[in-house]
């Protein structure tokens, strides 16, 4: 049994972590919940016990064995070093993902790396997680050379405020009212009835931070810097569930039927085998699996396949993956 802490316990991911810890019967001796001062005194239920949320880190630092970090990157950099030499922190932010001393773990892909931690384990980006879970069985068999991915990401990837904004704008449009941006708006442009081809800031080559996360994290998780990856990440007016159109080029030929056979019983995957049945974000919500469909011969890559990948970005793309890492530790 472990003393467990959740940092950012009132956010979308933090609340999902608490729920999954209970659903999967994680061996929790005592659960500590931390959030900002605005949330102090609120409560959350865990196994029929009402647990008060605190803004005091000291008890967590002294007692917690496993810590789930569900904070933004700046707060993670400030808070997580305080646990050094104490418990193991599984961090969901991008603060430590590319640190060479911090393992970046997807349990269906590289669980053995969890033993190499020095007090911090990084949880990958939500879009990266679902893509590597889908591609790893194929990579093991034929070795990937190149990946092109276009993501269609739900607003919940930004947080609860983005869901509120999409609901507000949708209601405005339903009443044929003008959608006005307001102080504190999450997005620079209306997201209802629109798509925004920018997630994060741009670099000198015109790629966004979200796109480069997919490039760099995929290479680190697969432990292969030779894999070429290019991505375009797009925000769409969907509440929950990320979708990806992926084309992959392999070192050896592979047919769609061979790929389906490799994926059929792979861990963490639900395969749609016929063309007229395919995954959609609406049906991924609250599901643990990565859904794959529309597997076909790619018409550009010589040894390529094209496919469609969908997952619940809050659950599998964040909270569940973190809890699975915790299960590796215990």
Q: How many CB atoms lie within 10 A of CB 184?
A: 7
Buried b or exposed e, range 210-239, using 16+ CB within 10 angstroms: bbbbbbbbbbbbbeeeebebebbbbbbbbb
Residue 104, pLDDT > 90, answer yes
Could you give the percent of the chain with pLDDT greater than 90? 91
Q: What number is the average pLDDT over the span 256-271?
A: 97
Q: How many CB atoms lie within 10 A of CB 193?
A: 10
pLDDT of residue 175: 87
Q: What number is the average pLDDT over the span 57-65?
A: 93
pLDDT of residue 10: 96
Residue 184, pLDDT > 90, answer no
Would the annotation count 206 as a binding residue?
Answer: no
| Residue ranges, CATH 3.40.50.720, the chain | 2-124+319-329
Would the annotation count 193 as a binding residue?
Answer: no
Q: Which residues contact 195 (CB under 8 A, 6 or more apart)?
A: 152, 234, 235, 236, 237
Known catalytic residue: 242? yes
Q: Which CATH class is domain 128-313?
A: alpha beta
Would the annotation count 247 as a binding residue?
Answer: no
pLDDT of residue 286: 97
pTM: 0.95
Residue range 187-212, pLDDT digits in tens:
999 999 999 999 999 999 999 999 99
165 pLDDT tier (thresholds 50, 70, 90) = very high
Would the annotation count 176 as a binding residue?
Answer: no
Would the annotation count 142 as a binding residue?
Answer: no
Residue range 294-314, pLDDT digits in tens:
999 999 999 999 999 999 999
Q: Which residues contact 111 (CB under 8 A, 6 or more apart)?
A: 105, 328
The 3-state secondary structure of the chain, one letter per residue = CEEEEEECCCCHHHHHHHHHHHHCCCCEEEEEEECCHHHCCCEEEECCEEEEEECCCHHHHHHCCEEEECCCHHHHHHHHHHHCCCCEEEECCCCCCCCCCCCECCCCCCHHHHHHCCCEEECCCHHHHHHHHHHHHHHHHHCEEEEEEEEEECHHHCCHHHHHHHHHHHHHHHCCCCCCCCCCCCCCCCCCCCCECCCCCECCCCCEHHHHHHHHHHHHHHCCCCCEEEEEEEECCCCCCEEEEEEEEECCCCCHHHHHHHHHCCCCEEECCCCCCCCCHHHCCCCCCEEEEEEEECCCCCCEEEEEEEECCCHHHHHHHHHHHHHHHC
Residue range 201-259, pLDDT digits in tens:
999 999 999 999 999 999 999 999 999 999 999 999 999 999 999 999 999 999 999 99
Q: Which CATH class is domain 2-124+319-329?
A: alpha beta
Selected catalytic residue, list 126, 139, 172, 233? 126
Residue 179, pLDDT > 90, answer no
Would the annotation count 146 as a binding residue?
Answer: no
Would the annotation count 115 as a binding residue?
Answer: no
pLDDT of residue 7: 98
Residue range 11-52, pLDDT digits in tens:
999 999 999 999 999 999 999 999 998 888 899 999 999 999
Quote the mean pLDDT of the chain.
96
Selected catalytic residue, list 117, 139, 233, 242? 242
Would the annotation count 10 as a binding residue?
Answer: yes
Separation between Cα atoms, residue 322 and residue 91, nearest integer Å: 8
pLDDT of residue 183: 72
pLDDT of residue 315: 98
Known catalytic residue: 233? no
| Residue ranges, CATH 3.30.360.10, the chain | 128-313
pLDDT of residue 84: 87
């Amino acid at each position: 049994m472990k003393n467990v802490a959740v940092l950012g316990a009132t956010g979308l991911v933090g609340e999902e972590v608490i729920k999954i810890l209970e659903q999967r019967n994680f061996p929790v001796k005592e659960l500590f919940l931390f959030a900002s001062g605005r949330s102090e005194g609120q409560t959350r239920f865990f196994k029929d016990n009402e647990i008060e949320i605190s803004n005091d880190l000291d008890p967590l630092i002294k007692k917690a064995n496993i810590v789930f970090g569900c904070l933004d990157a700046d707060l993670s950099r400030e808070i997580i070093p305080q646990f050094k030499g104490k418990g193991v922190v599984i961090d969901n932010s991008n603060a430590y993902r590319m640190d060479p001393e911090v393992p970046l773990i997807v349990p269906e892909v590289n669980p053995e790396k969890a033993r190499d931690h020095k007090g911090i384990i990084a949880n990958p980006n939500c879009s990266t997680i679902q893509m590597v879970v889908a591609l790893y069985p194929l990579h093991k068999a034929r070795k990937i050379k190149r990946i092109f991915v276009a993501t269609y990401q739900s607003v919940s990837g930004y947080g609860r405020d983005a869901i509120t904004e999409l609901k507000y704008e949708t209601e405005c449009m339903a009443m044929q009212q003008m959608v006005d941006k307001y102080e504190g708006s999450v997005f620079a442009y209306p997201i209802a009835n629109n798509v925004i081809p920018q997630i994060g800031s741009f670099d000198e080559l015109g790629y966004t931070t979200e796109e480069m996360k997919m490039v760099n994290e995929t290479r680190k998780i697969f432990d292969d810097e030779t894999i070429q990856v290019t991505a375009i990440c797009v925000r769409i007016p969907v509440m929950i569930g990320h979708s990806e159109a992926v084309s992959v080029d392999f070192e050896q030929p592979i047919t769609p039927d061979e790929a389906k056979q490799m994926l059929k019983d792979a861990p963490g995957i639900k395969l749609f085998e016929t063309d007229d049945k395919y995954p959609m974000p609406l049906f991924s919500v609250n599901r643990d699996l990565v859904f794959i469909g529309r597997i076909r011969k790619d018409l550009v890559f010589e040894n390529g396949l094209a496919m469609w990948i969908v997952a619940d970005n809050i659950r599998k793309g964040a909270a569940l993956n973190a809890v699975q890492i915790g299960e590796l530790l215990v």
